[in-house]
Structure 1
Amino acid sequence: MPPRSAIPLLLVLGLFAGCGVARESGPYGVVSSKTAAAAAETIQGRWWTWAASEGESTNPVTDTTGEFCDRNQPDDVWFLAGTFGGTVQRTCRIPAGRPVVFPLVNQVSTEAQCREFMATAKGKATLDGNAATPERMKDDNVAVTGVAGNPLTGEEGTTTSYACGIWVRLQPLKPGRHTLTIRGSSGGFRTGVDYTLIVGTDQHA
């Protein structure tokens, strides 16, 4: 990812602007759903604020093992992070009954930069070998609040930017162990995460 201050990355949502909501599946489906995660109009802003709420050494985006995936998670959804470039493997414990939301590739920037970014943006995700349905979100003006030293905005306080990206929203996963593979790209930027997700408090890594 370009400078860690604002920029494409695959992390783990949004103020919708012309982005359709994909079809629903069953209660544990792997396709996007309007009921699968937090309200669409707040997803991107909430995710960026979540990712900017932790310093660099313990940030879910810079995390190489998954040990920090639970930092600052909200009560109604579970966000997953990508990387600032390259592919990592992570193991993450998730409470049962929590929708899962993440970007395949995303950016906060100007409207013009988002338009250019989305022109070549691509991504895919598979959960236990089944393809998830992505959603393209763009031209969303979002407020991002970060802490001092965070690797996304680099500063404390609130900034307003355009947000865009390709996102996946999953309904709550069945308790147990799951494999989630995420890949995203735009231009020369590439990002990916191979997740082992352990759902339910009685599960062990």
Structure 2
Amino acid sequence: MWFLAGTFGNQVKRTCAIPSGRPIAFPVVNLFGDRSDCAAFMSSAQGTVLLDAKAVEPETYQGDSITVQGAQGNAVTGEEGRFPATGCGLWVQLPSLAPGTHSLKIRGQSADFSTGVDYALTVEASSK
């Protein structure tokens, strides 16, 4: 699995090379906190994904129990160590893409929080 990063609430453009044969996963908009945080967040969560100008439907995760591993200086957790949380959001999992270039546009929003990433992806040809 090849994971693509979301944002902390801004719009960015990125390029990424992906090895051939790797499925891809990424958030459209997501959060971790407690169950009530996720319930509030998911009540207005929405998003769109375009892969090579074709719509891809995100999967909805209302609130799954997860374990977060925080490292010193990590902007996501704000604390070190392992702790339980609830993870929620809209996510996409794609099968491996054909070798070549692909355009991926991700837009997500919940209440006043929004994200956007435009990826220029290059799937590398297999070296077999």
The two structures share one fold, judged by TM-score above 0.5: yes
2:66 matched residue in structure 1: 142
User: 1:152 is aligned with what amino acid?
Assistant: V
Identify, as 1 or 2, the structure richer in helix. 1
1:116 matched residue in structure 2: 40
Alpha-carbon RMSD across the aligned residues, in angstroms, is 1.2
The yes-or-no answer on 1:160 pairing with 2:77 is no
Percent identity of equivalent pairs: 50
1:175 matched residue in structure 2: 99
Give the SS at the match of 1:98.
Answer: coil
Q: Whole-Å Cα distance in 2 between the matches of residues 172 and 146 of structure 1?
A: 30
2:24 matched residue in structure 1: 100
1:198 matched residue in structure 2: 122
- Segments of 5+ residues of structure 1 without an aligned counterpart are 1-76
Q: Whole-Å Cα distance in 1 between the matches of residues 102 and 88 of structure 2?
A: 28
Deviation of the 1:201 alpha carbon: 5.9
Q: Determine if contact 2:58/2:90 at 8 Å carries over to the other structure.
A: yes
Determine which structure has greater relative contact order: mean sequence separation of CA pairs < 8 Å that are 6+ residues apart, divided by chain length: 2
Deviation of the 1:174 alpha carbon: 0.5
Deviation of the 1:146 alpha carbon: 2.7
User: 1:139 is aligned with what amino acid?
Assistant: G
Give the SS at the match of 1:139.
Answer: strand
Deviation of the 1:138 alpha carbon: 1.8
> What is the TM-score normalised by the length of structure 1?
0.59
1:17 matched residue in structure 2: none
1:54 matched residue in structure 2: none
Residues paired across the two proteins, number:
126
Identify, as 1 or 2, the structure richer in strand. 2
What does residue range 66-77 of structure 1 map to in structure 2 within 5 Å?
77=1
User: 1:155 is aligned with what amino acid?
Assistant: E
User: 2:15 is aligned with what amino acid?
Assistant: T
Stretches of 4+ moved more than 6 A in 1?
none
